[in-house]
Amino acid sequence: MTDTNASTRTLSIDIGGSGIKVMVLDETGNPLTERIRLDTPQPPTPEAVMNTIAQLVTSVGEFDRISAGFPGVVRAGVIETAVNLHPDWVGYNLGTALSKQFQKPARVINDADMQGLGAIAGKGVELVITLGTGFGSALFLDGKLVPNLEMGHHRFRKGESYEEQLGRAALEKVGEAKWNERLAKAIASLEHLFNYDYLYIGGGEAKLVKIKLPENTKVISNLNGLLGGINLWKD
């Protein structure tokens, strides 16, 4: 469904392992509100996260539809993996739950996919990685999403996954200098693996990137995780 109503307002939700953010976008994807954030509740069960979203929504005013990014594999609104949240998410229909709670149509995708939709140029092979609680990834070919890539759980080096080497727990354990060294190795590995035209680095820890990046690589604002929500309705 492509909505051409110039007054259509989209509630964009970014669900993360450490924080949940919301913002309302106009019909072209420009922010109508400030980004509002609350810490992810502990334990981060579906009920607790839905309650946190409800608290956030009280501050954003009216909206007509909902876009949500979730840190795991999402298929037709149903959560299939939730490594950094709670096992109760597996099999949970977040799209239906959001629609019922707020009485608005809702669409849900992987959070890195949504961040990528807010950042890419739409030309060639573009890879997005997000550095936060975990390690997110999204792949695009000429602007078309290859959904649920989930590179973070694939083996990277020393028998560990990208997430085990570069997630927040690893950052806190080894420190910023070592973490940046690992990131440089990850970029080299991913470039050989995907032969991408461009790499975008986002997520809450992207601000800590200190290494010299290749010309076809740049750090992007974490705000793209919300701005990408408008593109869930462009079809």
For residue 19 the two structure tokens come to: 């924080």
Indicate the domain borders of the chain: 10-114+226-233, 120-219
For residue 230 the two structure tokens come to: 């408008």
pLDDT per position as a tens digit, 169-224 = 999 999 999 999 999 999 999 999 999 999 999 999 999 999 999 999 999 999 99
User: CATH assignment of 10-114+226-233, given 3.50.50.60, 3.40.1350.10, 3.40.350.10, 3.30.420.40?
Assistant: 3.30.420.40
Per-residue pLDDT at 3: 42
Give first-to-last CA distance, the chain, whole Å: 6
CA distance 30 to 11: 12
Whether 88 has a pLDDT exceeding 80, the answer reads yes
Per-residue pLDDT at 6: 56
pLDDT per position as a tens digit, 145-160 = 999 898 999 999 999 9
Please give the angle made by the CA atoms of 157, 163 and 167, to the nearest 5 degrees.
Answer: 120
Do the domains at 10-114+226-233 and 120-219 have one common CATH topology? yes
Q: What's this model's pTM, rounded to 2 decimal places?
A: 0.93
Taking domain 120-219, whether its CATH number is 3.30.420.40 is answered by: yes
